[in-house]
């Protein structure tokens, strides 16, 4: 970030106001990006649901989805993500969220690439929810998410916590510390 030299002509409090406004702008930019992501994931879920429904009702197969992808790419040439493979992934995501409103809300909070990683690497819905929650809470990049899945962070933290009696046998500060020591790889 370029450093501005102090100008004695500026009124008192100007620098503080400038810092505050910059922070607000950055915060709003992040919120806008998250909002766009939520809308795109909602669209992808709607597309996936539409494909699922047509397959169930009308027996649509691979060729119809490929045709749909081609026609969508023609209609929206500047929009990425409308390949046949992505449409199938949208269908898979919609199917995994079909009966789980909480999971449906959670998947909209993370980028599409993160959702694909989870679809491909985590089959258990409870674990998938946990990894999404951790991604949101910790701001994990896709690479960090992959690493945490591959090193089975879920088992190391959640399942290991279930195997101790620290909460029952130690006072809160010590039980928390003991749990953290066991979680630390």
**Residue scoring higher pLDDT (38 or 60):** 38
Q: Which tens digit of pLDDT belongs to each residue from 72-109?
A: 999 999 998 999 999 999 999 999 998 889 999 999 99
pLDDT at 42: 95
User: Could you report the per-residue pLDDT of 73-83, keeping only the tens digit for each?
Assistant: 999 999 989 99
Taking only the tens place, the pLDDT of each residue in 107-150 is 999 999 999 999 999 999 999 999 999 999 999 999 999 999 99
What's the mean pLDDT when you consider all of the chain? 88
d(CA 46, CA 21): 37
| pLDDT at res. 159 | 72
């Amino acid at each position: 970030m370029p450093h501005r030299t102090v100008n004695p002509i500026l009124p008192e409090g100007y620098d503080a106001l400038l810092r505050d406004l910059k922070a607000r702008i950055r915060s709003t930019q992040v919120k806008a990006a998250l909002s766009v992501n939520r809308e795109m994931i909602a669209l992808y879920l709607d597309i996936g649901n539409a494909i699922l429904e047509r397959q169930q009702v009308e027996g649509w197969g691979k060729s119809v989805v490929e045709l749909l992808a081609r026609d969508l790419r023609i209609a929206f040439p500047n929009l990425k993500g409308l390949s046949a493979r992505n449409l199938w992934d949208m269908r898979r995501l919609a199917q995994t969220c079909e009966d789980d409103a909480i999971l449906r809300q959670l998947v909209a909070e993370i980028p599409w690439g993160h959702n694909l990683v989870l679809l491909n690497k985590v089959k258990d819905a409870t674990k998938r929810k946990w990894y999404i929650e951790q991604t949101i809470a910790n701001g994990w990049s896709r690479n960090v998410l992959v690493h945490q899945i591959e090193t089975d962070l879920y088992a190391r933290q959640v399942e290991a916590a279930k195997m101790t009696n620290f909460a029952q046998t130690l006072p809160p500060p010590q039980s928390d510390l003991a749990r953290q020591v066991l979680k630390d790889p």
